[in-house]
Amino acid sequence: MTIVLVILLLIILLLGVCVFFYFVSTQRRLVTLDENCKNALGQIEVQLNSRWDVLLALAKTAQKYAEHEGKTLVDVIAQRRQGGITTAQDVARQEGEISSIMSRLMAISEAYPNLKADSLYQETMAGVKQYEENVRMSRMVYNDSATLLNRAVRQWPSSFIASMLNFREREYLKTDQEQKKGMPQIFE
């Protein structure tokens, strides 16, 4: 009888240790996935800030040709680039603001044909194109990271641990079709 009791206690202890190690490994995996999402959002913020820098350079170049409009754009860009990115809505907000600035810059460049021929303007536009691509790639990385976290948060049994530890699903970044329609075509 005592041997059976000892074996039963060992089995219970072994199961408890297995559950404990599963809990710890799942918590670590969830933390890693959550940090990957935060890192991806941080990368998007870095790319958007770089984009703002390039737009500021573009506005300063335009300022040489259109003094009033250029100064207004420089001031607007300086005001709008404030604020960090912690959610998908923050990304969408900044994308909308950048789209608005790009529309205004395109209008200035159309009004001043010499501006389009300026080599600094052309180089800066190439920089804008590169940052557009960087932001696109950063958005894809974020959505991939969010997918991994969301799966872990929703799938059983890790969902049980995720709910206990307050891990939540992340919202995906989406392309706003209305914003996309209003975005000026600056690259052929």
Domain map (residue ranges) of the chain: 36-182
- Residues 55 and 98 sit within 8 Å (Cβ to Cβ): yes
pTM equals 0.75
83: left (phi over 0), alpha (psi -120 to 50) or beta: left
End-to-end Cα spacing for the chain? 83
Confidence of residue 79 (pLDDT cuts 50, 70, 90): low
- The CATH topology of domain 36-182 is de novo design (two linked rop proteins) (1.20.1440)
Confidence of residue 183 (pLDDT cuts 50, 70, 90): very low
Q: Which residue has the higher pLDDT, 181 or 128?
A: 128
- Assess whether pLDDT exceeds 60 at residue 188: no
Residue 74 dihedral angles phi and psi, to the nearest 5°: -60, -45
- Assess whether pLDDT exceeds 50 at residue 179: no
